[in-house]
Amino acid sequence: MKKKICLWINNNFVMLGIGKYLQENFDYEIYAIVDSNSGIDEVIEKQQIVKFKKIWYFGKNVVPKKNIEVEYLKNAEKKYDLKMMFVASTERLFYKKFNKYYDFKHNEILSILEQEIKIFENILNEIKLDYILCTP
């Protein structure tokens, strides 16, 4: 059975090179999560470097919404042993000193965290991944 690997792709495209190497040297099913707000989605779709089995676009799936499923978040905190506000405190985009363009409200932060958890749960439930590679 082929090993399944997911590459976290951002603006620097390093993961495309890693994906090409893995594709040429190992028998992996290669998946991708694209995390960028600079419009690289189309570039990833058209590229011929790596043949991805499936691609998820993080930014298109994580957008603040008004209705927060509080019970879902509480259950996720218990299930994954998370402290949502601690997780939020580690995200630099939520800091006013780093992000001078937008001041996220408490409910927007919770909404984003909810959607992030849901996309990862969906990916992990759909594809039983063996590895996820990302850059720091």
**pLDDT digits (tens), the chain, 136 positions:** 889 999 999 887 899 999 999 999 999 999 999 987 667 888 888 899 999 999 998 888 787 788 899 999 999 999 999 998 898 888 888 888 888 888 888 899 999 999 999 999 999 999 999 999 988 7
Distances (CA, A) of 114 to 29, 31, 36, 82, 119: 28, 22, 19, 12, 9
7 close to 129: Cβ distance less than 8 angstroms: no
53, containing H or E segment:
none
Residue ranges of alpha helices (H) inside 26-83 are 41-46, 58-61, 70-80
Partner residues linked to 30 by β-bridges: 5
Torsion angle of the four alpha carbons 128, 133, 134, 136, in this order, in degrees rounded to the nearest 10: 120
What burial class does residue 6 get, using C-beta atoms within 10 Å of its C-beta: 0-12 exposed, 13-18 middle, 19+ buried?
Answer: buried
Its pTM stands at 0.84
